[in-house]
Amino acid sequence: MVSSSHEALHRIFQQEPGLFSRVARNLGVAFPPPVSASELSTDLTEIQPLERRVDTLLRMDTEDGSFVLAVESQSRPSADKPASWAYYLSHVYAKYGVPPVLLVVCPDRKTAAWAGRRFDIGPRQWPSLTLRPLVLGPDDVPVIDSPDEAARDIPLTILSAALHRSEPEADAILNALAKALKGLSADDESSAGTFIELMEQGLGTTRAAELWRHLMAVDLSFFQSQTAQQLRAEGEAKALLLLLGHRGVEVGDGDRERIVGCGDPEVLDEWFKRALTAGSMAEVFGGGVG
């Protein structure tokens, strides 16, 4: 099953195709920024019942010409992947007649080192194909811990946080990102909701994900989008359950379902205030709120 953190590492390039040319410079490869970019079908299935899907596929049109960018999110080494990647690139080139580039995004250094090798496909004496992915790992994307810098490139900051999510720098990146999002105008609310969702996905189940939920629960009042309000409610619910657990208040299955199922951040905030002194769930829910 594909994890949400897997999705974020390639979806960020769908949201901001120009991010590729910016991060490619960190790999020592100069790609001009796209003049335009359009999503292509990620379904590379042949007529035969063999299904293969690349994570993200984009046609990038630049002043120097066009290429197809295939983005793969890879969380661990896999002996089967090089053959699949070679198939993707060959199929794309045959289908669209446009040179392909493979970018592999890895959230840890071990996987990045593995994916960054040159893969020779064929006999030792004469490999028929050589696969050379571009690889982005934690060492290839800078730590962005300044709100001003984060505001200048929010997609890059999301990628920075996702790739450094298990490292001590994650907290500073997330704090900078939260402040940068808070500075967006009302016209950017839709984009902000997408960025917030991508960041939630990109952090997976790491400790940094809990910090992000806390930051969003505290600071999301300036956004009113459905995604933002949902994330705020989820953060409030988790904070409330954590507080009740620390205070030793017994929470029944029905009480837990009521808290988790409440999508109103204001109601959850009122319950949280009551939980600071309440001795029972009846006192927390007192007054029939929610």
pLDDT, tens only, 100-123:
999 999 999 999 999 999 999 888
Report pLDDT for 269.
82
Average pLDDT over residues 151-163: 96
Report the pLDDT value the prediction gives residue 219, as an integer from 0 to 100. 59
Q: Specify the pLDDT at position 130.
A: 93
pLDDT at residue 189 above 70?
A: no
pLDDT of residue 169: 95
Number of neighbours of residue 240 by Cβ within 10 angstroms: 23
185 falls in which pLDDT band (50, 70, 90)?
low
Q: Where are the beta strands (DSSP E) in 2-107?
A: 36-39, 56-62, 65-73, 100-105
Predicted confidence at residue 227, as pLDDT, reads 55
Mean pLDDT of 2-28: 88
- Give the Cβ contact number of residue 30 at 10 Å: 9
Give the mean pLDDT of 147-167: 95
Beta strand pairing call for 65-73 and 100-105? parallel
State residue 78's pLDDT score. 94
130, β-bridge pairs: 120
Phi, psi (deg, nearest 5) at residue 16: -140, 80
In which band, very low, low, confident or very high, does the pLDDT at 47 lie, cut at 50, 70 and 90?
low
Is the pLDDT confidence value at 223 over 70? no
| Mean of pLDDT values over 144-158 | 95
Token duo for residue 182: 């808070």
- Percent of the chain scoring above 70 in pLDDT: 88
pLDDT band at 187 (very low <50, low <70, confident <90, very high): low
Say which residue the tokens 């946080």 belong to: 161
pLDDT for residue 97: 95
What is the token pair recorded at 261? Answer: 């199922």
pLDDT on residue 289: 47
CA dihedral 101, 4, 206, 12 (to 10 degrees): 40
Q: Percentage of residues in the chain with pLDDT exceeding 90?
A: 58
| 185 vs 82, more confident | 82
